[in-house]
A and B are shown apart, each in its own frame.
Chain A
Amino acid sequence: MAPHEIELIEKARSGDTGAFEALVYQYDKQVLTIAARYVNSSDDAKDIYQEVFLRVYKGLKKFQLRSEFSTWIFRIATNVCLSYHSRRKRRAHVSLDQEQEVSDGEASHGVEIVSEEHSPHQQTVNAELSARVEEAMDALSPQQKIIFTLKHYQGYKLNEIALMLKCSEGTVKKQLFTAVRRLREALKEFA
């Protein structure tokens, strides 16, 4: 771990919120990007972001300096993503209307869709495909979904993903293969 990072961790542990911010701002955009890709909703991504860094803040005192700080952050991020579905289900019990709003408002605020110009027909196809991909992704198990997101969209290496999820590389390979197979089945009419 870099000496400046250790220094920031020590300061943050003693309650220096400025040091804490400087520490986490090195990784927070990646965390938000993973969350946004995982949940496809800016509001939910911000919720995940906040929970991740509150857990980091609370857990900092117990953090072992011999581990990589970034790995620890991304491990927390993946855990929060994995528990996101169950929390969302609990929320659905609280307010179905609210859940509908979340669903309707997905990818509408703050998340920018960047695309090259397409014909109206292509845009329609893309919109339909996006919806189907999202549906297929939601049908994966949380672990398969996070592994596919981290590998396919974020480009992490298998051993990095294994470290984040605290599992073996073999498990990551197996789950990735299953995720790809299930997505291909669900999207076979497009590819």
Chain B
Amino acid sequence: MNHKHIKELLPIFLYGDLSPDETAEVRQHLETCTECRGELESLKAFNAVLSGLPAVEVTGELLNEARQELRAALRRETVKQSLWERVAERAGKIFAPRYRFAFSAAAMLLAGVGIGYAIFYRTGFEQTKQNGMPLVSETSQNSRQSVNGGFLRGGTRTDNLHFLNLDPQSGEVEFTFDAVTPMRVKGNVNDEQVQKVMAHAIVNSDNPGVRLKTVSALAEQGEQLRDADPAVKSALITALKTDGNPGVRSEALRALMQMPFDKEIKEAVLFVLLHDKNSGMRVAAINSLELTSHEKRMSDADILRALKKKVQSDDTNYVRLQARTVLQEVSQ
């Protein structure tokens, strides 16, 4: 390997990204070449200057802003994918060229009926107002309806479209699809209806960000959570025990500790203490036991047993220490 080529490899040598063979060759060359050793030192100095500059860090705030803006852009993008485009796309895949025209005409007719329905006739989903808050209630969920009965309303997206029948002579088609209607609910976090929606989101949303925000919003309510809908408590317990995201579990624990410490909550906390793989969660569970009333802890054999088990067998030092501290407090 010649001198010039070694010089070209030096920056990459410094980054530690050469192959073992190349690295050995560069090292060998450096032993005998004063010029290249000087070049290497100079490169080190240059890297040190660049590394000494203040680092640019992307803050959580900036990331959140970017995500919100992306979400809005995605919403706009989704609206663009109209029913017509989707149906036309499916038609292109399903029908032979000679049927496409007939299908397009029929689909356009159906879309027209749907749009007319959306404008003039709304049933199936009802929007009502109670205490100034729009509530959404589903009144029918027919999976199969005739064209004359109407099946769409404004903003409805379709998915999972399946063709059942096609009559090329009459141009009549029959198909099923899922109608997904975007809804917007705004209301106080302590409202029973809002809490039901939040409880549903905690258990069913695939998005950990949505689950985290929902649980955090509830945790922020403090003692007002005492009167929360039972569905909320149940959802929080489910999240605490099963959510894959430790942030969600942690916030669920914080929210539950605002509620009266009953048997269900105690069992959920002990479940975390005994089974959660995240040591931070186990410590949080111990700390939350500290917050419960002294008398309850004193008389509760389950809690004492769980704490003793942790003192003896938890694989994390800090968890054992915390459990011991709480046990000592109890026995005083």
Contacts and interface: CB of A to CB of B under 8 A. Distances in A.
Interface of A: 8, 11, 14-22, 25, 28-29, 32-33, 36-37, 40, 42, 45-46, 49-50, 53-54, 57-58, 107, 109-115, 126, 129-130, 133, 151-152, 157-158, 173-174, 176-177, 180, 183-184, 187, 190-191
Contact of A115 (B55, B59, B61, B78): B55
B183 interface: no
Contacts of A113: 54-57
Chain B interface, DSSP helix/strand/loop, else mixed: helix
3 A-B pairs with the lowest CB-CB distances in the bound complex, closest first: A110-B62, A115-B54, A18-B207
A111 B58 contact: yes
B50 interface: yes
Chain A interface, DSSP helix/strand/loop, else mixed: helix
B116 to A, nearest CB: 24
Given A133-B50, A190-B49, A112 B59 contact: yes
Contact of A17 (B11, B49, B74): B74
B12 interface: yes
B17 interface: yes
B220 interface: no
B49 A187 contact: yes
B67 interface: yes
Interface in B31-58: 42-43, 45-50, 52-58
B12 A158 contact: yes
B74 A20 contact: yes
Contact of A57 (B9, B61, B77, B210): B77
Nearest to A116: B54
Interface residues of B, number: 46
Contacts of B209: 21-22, 25
Nearest to A54: B73
B53 to A, nearest CB: 6
Given A40-B56, A187-B46, A14 B160 contact: yes
B59 A110 contact: yes
Interface in B1-51: 8-9, 11-12, 15, 17, 42-43, 45-50
B302 interface: no
Contact of B56 (A28, A46, A111): A111
A177 B43 CA distance: 11
B167 interface: no
Contacts of B15: 151-152
11 contacts: A14-B159, A14-B160, A17-B78, A22-B207, A22-B209, A28-B66, A54-B74, A111-B57, A111-B62, A183-B46, A191-B42
A153 B291 CA distance: 45
B53 A15 contact: no
Contact of B46 (A115, A157, A184): A184
A41 B70 CA distance: 18
A166 B252 CA distance: 44
Contact of B55 (A114, A176, A177): A114
